[in-house]
Amino acid sequence: MQIMYRSTRSSQIRATASEAILQGLAPDGGLYVPEELPRYTKSLETLAGQTYQETALDIMSLFLTDFTQEELKTCIDRAYDSKFDIPQITCLHEADGVSYLELFHGATIAFKDMALSILPHLMTTAAAKRGVSDEIVILTATSGDTGKAAMAGFADVPGTKIIVFYPKGGVSAIQEKQMCTQRGSNVHVVGIRGNFDDAQSAVKRIFSDEQMKERMAGAGKRFSSANSINIGRLVPQIVYYYYAYGQLVKEGKIRAGEQINITVPTGNFGNILAAYYAKQIGLPVKKLICASNENKVLVDFFTSGSYDRNRSFRLTSSPSMDILISSNLERLIYRIAGEDPDFTKKCMDSLGAEGIYQITPKMEEGLGDFYGNYASEAETSEEISRIYERSGYVIDTHTAVASAVCRKFREETKDSAAMVVASTASPYKFCNTVVRSIRPDAGEMTDLELIDMLHEISGVEIPQAIEDIRTAPVLHDTVVDVDEMPQEVIRWLDL
């Protein structure tokens, strides 16, 4: 079955998978979605015996149908190799009655590596397939983790450049250090005076600016996106939910066919949307539990059917989830609106103009797959300490938000199905909060001392990504206002 992609905002725009990956965002500002969802038809028993790479090939070939098996296999083998610090690529860790799916074993120790280690390969393969000779310029807004993972993936990849915008002061000290020490002659990192939503909206505007497009075309360049609006990121994220299911079967925690629940710490709604697609194509999932931090716009949406970003933005200890405009929700809206691009466009226009939209009661029924709740800053800290006290396992702040919400879900619903909690970052990435949650009496300490203390507490080896930044020189220190972002792009690309 050949899967075509269309825009969430108009029925005119269609693209193959490789075109959609190259473009990132559809030309009308909408997001590409599969016109039809494929079905996973292999037996769930066989999943238990497969490697990550084998499952990746099964899932990705269902969606990326204009890539050959050989092309996909090459991309997969190049992506999922010794850059990951465990040969299985990802693994489950059982603690306190739930299975934490550790998605942070890649080069930058956050789950973004799961997709961003393969996206550059998919993109350069797509460009070669389509005879595109333009230089591909990746423009990315980051809440902290995407930027580093995207640069790690694209650094020194021939035929590409990458520009990353991050909120200055809105990411953890380690995240900032990781980004600003990035090597590679084709990478540029820029702090902005604003928050993640400002950065993301400005990047979307640059993408759809006609004058900018002309300048780019004139210089033999074209933009693409490494944000989770690119289906080349979404599809690889479906893989690990299948892989995790296979591991649960293998460990005897479930029978093949039995339903599980999945909790995902959510910001831009990319990771949980991948879990939703996994369910839609055949993975036995009962509930998708959407966990937010104090920026709980999604929780309110799930309870009221109204998406309202008019509220104050909070900086929390889980900065990768400090987001009020969850871009990928647009894909869910499109789906539950019966794949109606006009309705979706109306909602998104209203979000842009008034910061709010309302779905219909009928659409609310389509949200039955989801449960939404949030964890406050205090609850997040308590959860880190609680899990540590009960099992000796140390989780990061984002995972702790998910873990706390998972517990609320279980208490409220008495649902005892096997639970997978997406564990999205290594605790080393958010050392300060993690250490102080477990050792509230820890005094003044430098970042490096905190790292050593976390090593003592957890007994987990210090990841290479952390060792690297201990000594790496800062190579990037540009900071601009939000309205200077287009000019910065023009300047650095010499347009």
The residues annotated with a catalytic role in the active site are 112
- Token duo for residue 66: 């204009």
Question: Could you say whether residue 267 binds ligand PLP (CB under 6 A)?
Answer: yes
Q: How far apart are CA 445 and CA 443, in angstroms?
A: 6
Pairing between β-strand 98-102 and β-strand 91-95 as defined by DSSP bridges: antiparallel
Q: Which of 275, 425, 453, 466 binds ligand PLP (CB under 6 A)?
A: 425
- State the nearest-atom distance from the C-beta of 128 to ligand PLP, in Å: 28
| Chain residues 295-324 in contact with ligand PLP, contact rule CB under 6 A | 320-321
| Chain residues 131-170 in contact with ligand PLP, contact rule CB under 6 A | 145
Residue type, 173: A
- Interface with ligand PLP by CB under 6 A: which range of 89-97, 260-268, 352-360, 464-472? 260-268
- State the nearest-atom distance from the C-beta of 321 to ligand PLP, in Å: 5
Q: How far apart are CA 139 and CA 135, in angstroms?
A: 13
Cα–Cα distance list, 315 to 115, 122, 432 (Å) = 26, 34, 15
- State the nearest-atom distance from the C-beta of 398 to ligand PLP, in Å: 4
Cβ-based nearer residue to ligand PLP, 175 or 261: 175
- State the nearest-atom distance from the C-beta of 135 to ligand PLP, in Å: 27
Q: Which of 64, 110, 203, 226 binds ligand PLP (CB under 6 A)?
A: 110
Q: Which of 55, 182, 224, 271 binds ligand PLP (CB under 6 A)?
A: 271
Q: Which of 178, 228, 344, 458 binds ligand PLP (CB under 6 A)?
A: 228
Question: Cβ distance 118 to 75 under 8 Å?
Answer: yes
- Interface with ligand PLP by CB under 6 A: which range of 124-132, 190-198, 259-267, 364-372? 259-267
- State the nearest-atom distance from the C-beta of 112 to ligand PLP, in Å: 5
> CA-based angle 303:98:257, to the nearest 5?
85
Q: Would you put residue 474 in left (φ > 0), alpha (ψ -120 to 50) or beta?
A: beta
Q: Which of 172, 178, 317, 424 binds ligand PLP (CB under 6 A)?
A: 424
Q: How far does CA 385 lie from the centroid of its chain?
A: 26
- Token duo for residue 74: 């090459």
Cβ-based nearer residue to ligand PLP, 167 or 267: 267
Cβ-based nearer residue to ligand PLP, 204 or 488: 204
For the beta carbon of residue 403, count every other beta carbon within 10 angstroms.
28
- State the nearest-atom distance from the C-beta of 290 to ligand PLP, in Å: 9
Ranges of beta strands (E only) in 327-386 are: 356-358, 370-374
Cβ-based nearer residue to ligand PLP, 125 or 397: 397
Q: How many residues bind ligand PLP (CB under 6 A)?
A: 17
- Token duo for residue 50: 């497969």
Helix (H/G/I), strand (E/B), else coil: 67? coil
| Chain residues 432-471 in contact with ligand PLP, contact rule CB under 6 A | none
CA nearest 8: which of 351, 368, 486, 282? 351
Cβ-based nearer residue to ligand PLP, 291 or 359: 291
- State the nearest-atom distance from the C-beta of 104 to ligand PLP, in Å: 8
- State the nearest-atom distance from the C-beta of 53 to ligand PLP, in Å: 23
- Interface with ligand PLP by CB under 6 A: which range of 109-117, 336-344, 412-420, 445-453? 109-117
Q: Kindly calculate the radius of gyration of the chain based on its CA atoms and give it in whole angstroms.
A: 21
Q: How far apart are CA 225 and CA 29, in angstroms?
A: 12
Cβ-based nearer residue to ligand PLP, 127 or 180: 180
Residues with Cβ within 8 Å of residue 449, at least 6 apart in sequence: none
Ranges of beta strands (E only) in 275-404 are: 285-292, 306-308, 356-358, 370-374
Residues 225/151/174/203 CA torsion (nearest 10 deg): -30
Q: Which residue has the tokens 């640069």?
A: 151
Cβ-based nearer residue to ligand PLP, 124 or 143: 143
Residues near ligand PLP (CB under 6 A) are: 110-112, 145, 228, 265-271, 320-321, 398, 424-425
